[in-house]
Amino acid sequence: MKIKQEIINLVKDTFTSRESLLLWLSPLVILFLLYRSDPYWHPLVLNYLFSSFLFVFIPVAIYIFPQKEKQSKSTWILWFTFFILSILPMLLGEFFSIKRDQWFPPYVPGQEPMHNWPWLPVIIIPLGILMFWTMHKSGFKPADFGISWGRWKLWVPLVVAFLIIITPILWILSKQPEFQQTYPLFRYMIRNNADFWAIDLSWFYYILIWEFLFRGFILFTLAKKIGVSRAIFVQAIIFSFAHLGKPELETYSSLAGGVLVGMLAYLSRSFLPGAVVHWALALIMDILVFFS
């Protein structure tokens, strides 16, 4: 009887609770839309928007879902608003037949229309403010997810020293055919030096939200449940497999790098050192390959 009741409760919580429909809806909608995008990262700003929803807003929305039935009605309304707005742009694009070309000019290989970029802050900034307010009302702090400067006096010197040491190694790797064929990642969008700097500098935003997922959300939430060292390995393993398709040596090194940066992030109480290191490595490699 105990097992039977446990099964009933689990099925009820997974399929019939008031939040389950929303928790089922978000990944299904995203997968549905991604399969119909052509592809979703054209233009590049659309990649950043999708990634913001996938890596930041939706995971946070699910995690900070009001856990206590006694939460105020305003907290529930705030969370529901934040959750719906996190998927609304994608819902609109498909279900109301708002074609991409009405929002974004058709993608032309070799061109990245820069007038698309105002869409990013217009959507991200209000949603970010709403996310932090929802966190506050739900009893969470940004630091719970590694969102802070943390112990910057610790991580800033370490990051600078690491980049100085690693740059000669990157220079050697940049001469290898495998790396020359891979970087810069968006070389097909680059027509001149101005395009190179615009795209590589904007790439910091993508790296920022990518690092938040691994060295922020996954690391700091799991550390409370399974312990710090295990959480570090979980995020590092997933991180390394996310590099499949990159040069083989880079994929191997991403496992060790994921562990080391995970350790630094936890000691620093911030995911920012990981973001700075990750972006700086990508920028240095792009510079070495593109201007060689």
User: DSSP assignment of the chain, as one string?
Assistant: -HHHHHHHHHHIIIIISTTHHHHHHHHHHHHHHHTTSS-TTSSHHHHHHHHHIIIIIHHHHHHTS--STTS-HHHHHHHHHHHHHHHHHHHHHHHT---HHHHSPPP-TT---GGGTTHHHHHHHHHHHHHHHHHHHTT--GGGGT-S--SHHHHHHHHHHHHHHHHHHHHHHTTSHHHHHH-STTGGG-SSHHHHHHHHHHHHHHHHHHHIIIIIIIHHHHHHHH-HHHHHHHHHHHHHHTTBTB-HHHHHHHHHHHHHHHHHHHHHT-SHHHHHHHHHHHHHHHHHHHT-
Contact 45, 117 (CB under 8 A): yes
Q: What pLDDT, on a 0 to 100 scale, did the predictor assign at position 92? A: 55
- C-alpha triplet 63, 129, 98: angle, nearest 5°: 85
Helix (H, G, I), strand (E, B) or coil at 246: strand
The residue type found at 291 is F
What is this structure's pTM? 0.81
Tens-binned pLDDT, residue by residue, of the chain (292 aa) = 677 787 777 777 776 666 666 667 666 766 666 565 554 445 677 778 778 888 888 888 888 877 666 667 777 778 778 777 766 665 555 544 445 555 555 555 555 555 566 667 877 888 888 889 888 888 899 999 999 999 999 999 999 999 999 999 999 999 999 888 888 887 777 778 888 888 888 889 999 999 999 999 999 999 999 999 999 999 999 999 988 888 888 889 999 999 999 999 999 999 999 999 999 999 999 999 998 7
Q: What pLDDT, on a 0 to 100 scale, did the predictor assign at position 162? A: 95
Helices 119-137, 44-52: crossing angle, 10 deg rounding: 10
Contact 89, 49 (CB under 8 A): yes
The two tokens of residue 33 are 């839309």
Q: What pLDDT, on a 0 to 100 scale, did the predictor assign at position 36? A: 57
Q: What pLDDT, on a 0 to 100 scale, did the predictor assign at position 175? A: 92
